[in-house]
Structure 1
Amino acid sequence: MELEGKVAYITGGSKGIGLGVAKSLLEKGMKVAISGRNQKSLNEALEVLGYSDNVMAVVSDVTQYADEEEVVRAITARWGKLDVVLANAGVGHFSPIDTMTFDQWHQMINTNLTGAFNTLKATVELLRQSKGYYMTLASLAGTNFFAQGAGYNATKFGVVGFTQAAMLDLRKYDIKVTTIMPGSVATYFNGNEPSEKDAWKIQPGDIGKLVVDLLTMHPRTLPSKIEVRPSRPDLKGN
């Protein structure tokens, strides 16, 4: 894919991985729309990305299909097409299954899993037209279960399965589909405040570079599921 002038949509794009990917795509000359649930956070992201004709931010709750439809309408009204989608929005609550609340369970299922479905459902026709690329941001928690992770594991295992099945459904339209499964990333996830202590972790810009590499790979090749992890976890705490 020649990236100059292509249009991307990133959910959960106001900070962390979504913001890092947005920066990387803008640097390659793409037009980027980001969404999030909070206008204040989106405004802060626009301050980082820079106000230009190549950037737009739209409030959307991915758990609501109608919100994602509105984002797609806004993107097409401004740029007339859509080439790349990254379903990145996600939340995590970690507790033993016997103390996990119904609200925590449903928030994770609705955001992490149903959100990825809503985003694809709202964008798939445009991706068919552009022979575009749909990606999900899963996690190594999508193949590795752990104590206190029942809800999060369930959603990320689900995202991996959903994305891989969608890949098989959509490749006949020349839509490429990939799930990216990171380990520890230096983001605000789960209340973390990124700082020097996170230097050992994957950085959001590293995921951005990975997305660029996927988009520029020869179309005959599809890395459909990618695990990526810190190379030196032993440096944690140093």
Structure 2
Amino acid sequence: MKKTAYITGGSKGIGLGIAEALLKEGVSVAITARTQNDLVETEKHLKTIGDAEVLIIKSDVRNLADEEKAIQQVVDKWGGLDFCIANAGVGRFSPIDEMSAEDWNSVIDINLTGVFNTVKAAIPALKKSKGYIFTISSLAGTNFFENGAAYNASKFGVVGFSQAIMLDLRPYDIKVTTIMPGSVATYFNGHTPTDADAWKIQPEDIGQMVVDLIRMNPRTLPSKVEVRPSVPPSARK
């Protein structure tokens, strides 16, 4: 699969799982993060996977100019872009009467506006390649919960945004899928994965899903995919 991919928030968690899966398929992968140290350590790991190339880029998805420069680096290095994975995200959880404006703005700016910035920056290159956009939402994009005002709003927004741009971009043969995972064993919101998280979706599972979606016949588009643990603890007898 001689293709190229751009993954935001690719230094750990779901983004890393997707990067690993694509590299195993021979896709050259560019990952971004806001912290250079995280990128350098992840690059060392990713370069042990397959023969495809790895590019690390420090970029803040809250800044459209950052994303435009990052995408241009990918195009300059590899001549084009085939897959754009808008994955970067954060969580801030509190009741609305206790939520600060700073926390609200952080979640919306990264989880929703950040997805817009990444996609907006990638569209010119994807029009040329007839590429594929993946946005990473959440089951929180269809199921609301207490203390989740900012997170729910951002993920509901990502789902709506993704479905709308799917219609906007299909005349250019650009495919758009939003993936909506439930509980994933990642470092999200300060959590450290342990053996106790074995029941959860694993990052490599989402990576495999992206590969499977890419391999589907292009006449068929799963535009919105909900994915959840098969048997969470609450379902065990």
Q: Which residue of 2 aligns with 1:62?
A: 61
How far is 1:234 from its partner? Answer: 2.0
How far is 1:24 from its partner? Answer: 0.2
CA offsets, 1:76-131, max 9 Å, x none?
11101000000000000000000011110000110000000000110001111000
Question: Are residues 1:9 and 2:6 paired?
Answer: yes
Cα pair 2:26 2:52 within 8 Å, conserved: no
Cα pair 1:200 1:236 within 8 Å, conserved: no
Q: How does 1:130-149 map to 2 (within 5 A)?
A: 130-149=129-148
Q: Distance in 2 between matches of 1:198 and 1:105?
A: 28
Q: Distance in 1 between matches of 2:56 and 2:70?
A: 9
CA offsets, 1:136-182, max 9 Å, x none?
00000000000000000000000000000000100111000000000
How far is 1:50 from its partner? Answer: 1.5
One-letter amino acid of the counterpart of residue 227, structure 1: E
CA offsets, 1:167-202, max 9 Å, x none?
010011100000000000000001110110110000
Structure 1 gap segments, 5+ residues each: none
How far is 1:235 from its partner? Answer: 7.0
Q: How does 1:198-237 map to 2 (within 5 A)?
A: 198-234=197-233
The secondary structure found in structure 2 opposite 1:226 is strand
Question: Are residues 1:175 and 2:158 paired?
Answer: no
Q: Which moved more, 1:148-157 or 1:45-54?
A: 45-54
Q: Distance in 2 between matches of 1:206 and 1:49?
A: 17
How far is 1:44 from its partner? Answer: 1.3
Question: Are residues 1:33 and 2:33 paired?
Answer: no
Identity of aligned residues (%): 61
CA offsets, 1:189-224, max 9 Å, x none?
011101101100000000000000010000000000
Question: Are residues 1:44 and 2:44 paired?
Answer: no
Cα pair 1:184 1:230 within 8 Å, conserved: yes
Number of paired residues? 235
Q: Distance in 2 between matches of 1:175 and 1:69?
A: 18
Cα pair 2:135 2:179 within 8 Å, conserved: yes
Q: TM-score, normalised by structure 2?
A: 0.96
Kindly report the root-mean-square deviation, in angstroms, between the aligned alpha carbons of the 2 structures: 1.5
Q: Which residue of 2 aligns with 1:19?
A: 16
Q: Which moved more, 1:53-62 or 1:152-161?
A: 53-62
Q: Distance in 1 between matches of 2:176 and 2:141?
A: 17
How far is 1:53 from its partner? Answer: 6.0
Q: Which residue of 1 aligns with 2:162?
A: 163
Cα pair 1:138 1:180 within 8 Å, conserved: yes
How far is 1:72 from its partner? Answer: 1.0
Cα pair 1:132 1:175 within 8 Å, conserved: yes
Q: TM-score, normalised by structure 1?
A: 0.96
Q: Distance in 1 between matches of 2:40 and 2:198?
A: 27
List 4+ stretches of structure 1 deviating above 3 A: none
Q: Distance in 2 between matches of 1:190 and 1:91?
A: 7
Cα pair 1:22 1:208 within 8 Å, conserved: yes
The secondary structure found in structure 2 opposite 1:116 is helix
Q: Distance in 2 between matches of 1:235 and 1:225?
A: 25
